[in-house]
Each structure stands twice: as structure tokens, then as C-alpha cells.
Amino acid sequence: MDKLVIRGGNPLLGTVRISGAKNAALPCMAAALLTDEPVILENIPQVRDIETTRKLLAAMGAEVELGYGRAQHRTTISARLLAAPEASYDLVKTMRASTLVLGPLVARCGRARVSLPGGCAIGARPIDLHIKGLELLGAIITQEHGYVEATTDPQKGNRLHGAEIVFDKITVTGTEDLLMAATLAVGETVMTNCAREPEVGDLAMLLNAMGAHIEGAGTSTIRVQGVEKLHGARHRIIPDRIEAGTFIIAAALTGGDVNVTCCDPTHLTAVIQKLHETGVKTVIKSDCVRVMGDQALKAADMNTEEYPGFPTDMQAQYMALATQAEGTSMISENIFENRFMHAQELVRMGANIKVEGRRATVRGGTPLSSAAVLASDLRASASLVLAALVADGETIIDRVYHLDRGYENIEEKLKSLGAEIRRVGNIFPKRAAAPSRA
Ligand code: UD1
């Protein structure tokens, strides 16, 4: 299993280019199932979750063509025939977002069979809200042998029907799943208490380009006028705000000076504001954030919230920064119930962190020293990489496959900014740890 070896101490300097957003690319790839015409997606990041989605769509019968050379970030998906509208446990267990195919499949094919995702390292993460919403749209749902089966009702012409859906809780992929399903439903669907994440807006932009009639995506109320058929389209995926935020923190933490380019700073407002509180200086342009980490960092409390609040996907990285800020930072995780697994690894590197339920108290300013640490999920891995960049000596991060799920070429990008980082095979004996997925 690959590991990363990082020697800390170098300030990051230079320019880094941000890739397309994994969390926008995944629903957009699922949306291609709604039409029998080709959907061309640009700015697709080359990360493992995209490869998993490619396998998932191909197993159903879709043709997924990945670009190469200069077009390596382009994917063309043709779901002309979908012989097996199913998502197997083998794929869903490695990537929960596989459940995004449920809505499009039942809307287009009249049936879908998707494995239940089961438990996960960062919390229970059920899909009850996806199921409830599909039932409101008229799908008949059964659950058996660990699978959800959804079918349309022959008495209703084998189509989904528009409905009023009020989400009990804000869910990003739940909003996306039902939004896709509603595009092909008969009549109007009104969804309230929707997720307002930019990735939902990006998906709606693609769906509208495919002929859907969606209004209000990016706000908490979305209206969809269903259509009979969608057609092919070409769409460019938005930049990855979490990758951008991770590099912004890397620059600040190492006392560097980095231009984070090809990003959308308007998607990063909460993160940038919080970093300003900690003393980080930035210069913001339309698609670039210059981060200057020449000031001492000071503690600031942080609460994760749904967009436009501070993203839970940046909590672990912020914790790494808080370990180096003077004073005490209280970090509250309000989205997932078990998302502090990086804390114990940071403590092994010398951080002073106390976790109580959904709250972590970080007493900052303690020097970090190298250690062998274990990545437990995608963003926890990023937090360990950040800590290693400022730790004394050589840190070895095990289970970096988590990182590969969501960060494109992270070593090359960090190396180009001056970090000492390399990937190696099995170089130390395994430590026992709980299995996990993000
Ligand atoms: C998405 C993101 C993930 C991010 C998360 C929160 C993708 C592919 N993943 O995950 O990176 O961390 O949003 O910003 O976009 N919930 C239920 N029932 C449901 C669905 C969700 O109770 O049917 C709960 C979850 O357990 C969680 C909360 O709602 O406590 C938010 O989860 P949700 O927004 O659905 O996360 P994902 O869409 O899975």
C-alpha cells in the first residue's frame, strides 16, 4: 500500500492550479444517465472516485470515454442503452456517492437497484431522505438483501410525478439525486430546504443545458418543470473549492506565499474569512487567491455548517492549522457525528487536542514532530499532509489511497511549491486501525 513521506519545514512558494471539483463531477456523470445522447464533461479531475464512477456507469451499459493527452480532463458518456440499471455493493462500498445513480436510473429506466451504502468512518450517513423523496415522486421502493430497489408505477404510466418535497435535513447528494429524478417527472416538483452548495448549482446548469427546466438551484427552494426527454450537452465542471481551500491552508500554515489559481474565490468566502481571523493575508482576484503566510497565526473558533457556512470537508485541514495558531480554538463539527479521527493522529505528532463529542478543543502553538500516522478518510488525510509540512523531520502517512480518491496529483502540486514529498511502497509494518471511508 502506498505511503507518503514528507519532510517538513519548507515554506510553500509559487503557483498552483486547482482541478475540477470531484463533488460536482460525480453528480454530473450520474446525470448523463438521464439521456440516450452523449454528454461531454470538461475539467473532470483525475482522481480515484471518478474512475469508480466510470466503472459504475460502464457496468450498467454506458460508454464512458476518458480523454487523453491534452484532453485528459474530458469525459464523454453515452448512456444509449442501460442493460443493467444497478449499482453493486462492491462499488458503492468504496464510494457512497454511487447512490447518486438511484434517482436518474429510476427516472429514465423505470427501475433501479442500488446497494445501500452501510456504515462509514465519518458517521452513519443514511440515504433515507433520498428514498423518502423518490417515494413522494411516486417511485415504489423496496429494500432487500442490502439493496434498494426503486420502480415506477405502471398505473401512473411508468413515470415519476412531480411533488412537493421538504427535506427534513439539508443533504447535498440527496438534493442532487432528487433534482435529477424530477427533471423527467410529469409536472412540477418543488423542493424546499435544499442544499445550496455550488456543486448543486453546477449540476443544475448541466441539466438545463440538457433541456431540463430548473429554477432556484443554489437557493433553498428549487422548482423543476419535468420534461419527457433530455438531450446531450457539453459542460465544464466548476473548480474544486475544497482542493483550493486545502492549498490555501497549506500556504498559510507553512508561512509561504502561494497563488492558488483556476479557483472560484466566491465559493471560498467562509474559509477565507476564517483564515483572515487567524491572521492570514490574502489578495483575491476573479479566479485566484494569493495567500501570504508571513504573520503569526492566532487561534479562532470554527463551526462547520452547510454552504455558505464553513465546509465540513475543510474541518480537518483547519484543525491542522489550529495546532500552529497561538491560543485555543474550539472546533465544532455540526454535519457529521464522527469526523475527528485525524485528531488522534495529530496528537501523535505533538498537537494538544481534546475531543468531546462533536467539539474539539485545540491548544495551539505546540511544535509538531514527525511520526508514522494513518489516514482514516479523504479529508483527514489532507490534514495529516498539512501537519507533516510543518513537522520537524520525516512523517510517513499510511493509507494514502484515501487521498487519491479526491486530490489530483497532490504530490506533484506540493513538490512544485517546494515541499519535500515522495510516494513509496510498504516501508513500515502495519498498525491496526478501523477500516474507513469518507
Ligand atoms: C456531500 C459531499 C461530502 C460532504 C457532505 C457535506 C459529495 C459527493 N459528497 O456528502 O464531501 O462532506 O456533502 O457537505 O458531494 N443525511 C441523512 N439522510 C440522508 C442523507 C443525509 O440523515 O438521506 C445526513 C447525513 O448523515 C449527514 C447530513 O445529512 O449528517 C449531511 O449529509 P449529506 O449532505 O447528504 O452528505 P453527502 O451528500 O453524503
For 40-58, what is each residue's pLDDT tens digit? 999 999 999 999 999 999 9
Do 337 and 416 belong to one domain? Answer: yes
Does the CB atom of residue 309 touch ligand 1 within 6 A? no
Ligand 1 atom with the shortest distance to the CA of 176 = 38
Q: Whose CA is nearest to atom 21 of ligand 1?
A: 171
Does the CB atom of residue 333 touch ligand 1 within 6 A? no
Do 266 and 226 belong to one domain? Answer: no
Q: Answer yes or no: 263 catalytic.
A: no
CA dist., res. 246 & res. 321, Å (int): 10
Domain with 251, as residue range(s), is: 3-18+239-424
Helix axis angle, 241-253 to 315-322, nearest 10°: 10
CATH code where residue 80 lies:
3.65.10.10
Total domains, the chain? 2
Determine which one of 28, 109, 120, 194 is catalytic: 120
Do 208 and 65 belong to one domain? Answer: yes
Does the CB atom of residue 172 touch ligand 1 within 6 A? yes
Q: Whose CA is nearest to atom 3 of ligand 1?
A: 313
Q: Whose CA is nearest to atom 15 of ligand 1?
A: 23
CA dist., res. 106 & res. 104, Å (int): 6
> Is residue 292 situated within a structural domain?
yes
Give me ligand 1 centre to Cα 171, in Å.
Answer: 5
Mark which of 210, 236, 262 sits at the end of a domain: 236
Give me ligand 1 centre to Cα 305, in Å.
Answer: 12
Do 245 and 347 belong to one domain? Answer: yes
Mind listing the pLDDT tens digit for each residue in 269-319? Answer: 999 999 999 999 999 999 999 999 999 999 999 999 999 999 999 999 999
Do 209 and 249 belong to one domain? Answer: no
Mind listing the pLDDT tens digit for each residue in 144-194? Answer: 998 999 999 999 899 999 999 999 999 999 999 999 999 999 999 999 999
Mark which of 192, 209, 236 sits at the end of a domain: 236
HSE (side-chain half, CA atoms, 13 Å) at 380? 25
CA dist., res. 438 & res. 428, Å (int): 24
CA dist., res. 173 & res. 100, Å (int): 7
pLDDT at 434: 41
Does the CB atom of residue 378 touch ligand 1 within 6 A? no
Q: Report, as an integer, the average pLDDT of 411-429.
A: 86
Give me ligand 1 centre to Cα 166, in Å.
Answer: 16
Mark which of 209, 236, 263 sits at the end of a domain: 236
Q: Are 226 and 185 in contact (CB under 8 A)?
A: yes
The pTM of this model reads 0.95
432 pLDDT more than 90: no
Do 268 and 280 belong to one domain? Answer: yes
Do 11 and 77 belong to one domain? Answer: no
